[in-house]
Amino acid sequence: MDFNEYLYIIRSDLYRFCGSMKISQMIRCLFSNEGGSYKYVFWMRTCNYTRNSGILRYTLYPLARHLLLHYTFKLGISVPFLADIGSGFYIGHYGGIIVSPFSKIGKNCNLSHGVTIGQSNRGKNKGYPVVGNNVYIGPGAKIIGRVVIGDNVAIGANCVVTKDVPDNAVVVGVPGRVISFDGVNGHEKVGQKSA
């Protein structure tokens, strides 16, 4: 990842959080009480960028790792910086969020509190989830094992997904089942911008 890509990603994440890509807004979010989940995402992205970036690896990377660890414990979010996550990543409410480092998440994904995106260690679904673009994952939802979540999918609160989900599906229940193909039609992302 080069600096321009890094800058685009952190600004697209900011846009999803507050509807602005201005550096002044980023500074406000990073140094005020209102930017909790954005602070976490910012330091996660910064760790990913600086870990292999020449002198930054020895200067900014240790600070970024320290701050990411601080926000991991403070906010109850565990999304490793090595996870493959597209631009426009948004965490609506922090607390109890766990993502496997080998999971893949597409662009403009919304995570709510209590979400787990984790691996399965055995059985036919042994492996890690792949989440598409423009996916809303409701509070308490669990996506476990080698499953593929399509684009524009809405996963309801407390849903447990252990099977592949096609594009534009709305999934609810335990185990998760498709109830419609209305997908993420806007009401799940009220107030949030698309990057």
* Peptide bond just before 175 cis, omega within 30 deg: yes
Q: Between the CA of residue 170 and those of 1, 156, 161, 178, 179, what are the distances in Å?
A: 33, 7, 12, 6, 6
Q: Between the CA of residue 122 and those of 21, 83, 126, 146, 147, what are the distances in Å?
A: 43, 21, 5, 10, 13
How high does pLDDT run on average in the chain?
Answer: 90
Q: What is the pTM of this model?
A: 0.89
Counted residue by residue, the chain has a size of: 195
Could you tell me the CATH superfamily of domain 83-185?
Answer: Hexapeptide repeat proteins (2.160.10.10)
What residues are labeled active site? Answer: 93
Question: What pLDDT is recorded for position 189?
Answer: 43
Specify whether the CB–CB gap between 118 and 143 falls below 8 A: yes
∠84-195-170 over CA atoms, to 5°?
75
Specify whether the CB–CB gap between 48 and 82 falls below 8 A: yes
Question: What pLDDT is recorded for position 53?
Answer: 86
pLDDT band at 33 (very low <50, low <70, confident <90, very high): confident
Specify whether the CB–CB gap between 174 and 157 falls below 8 A: no
The domain spans of the chain are 1-75, 83-185
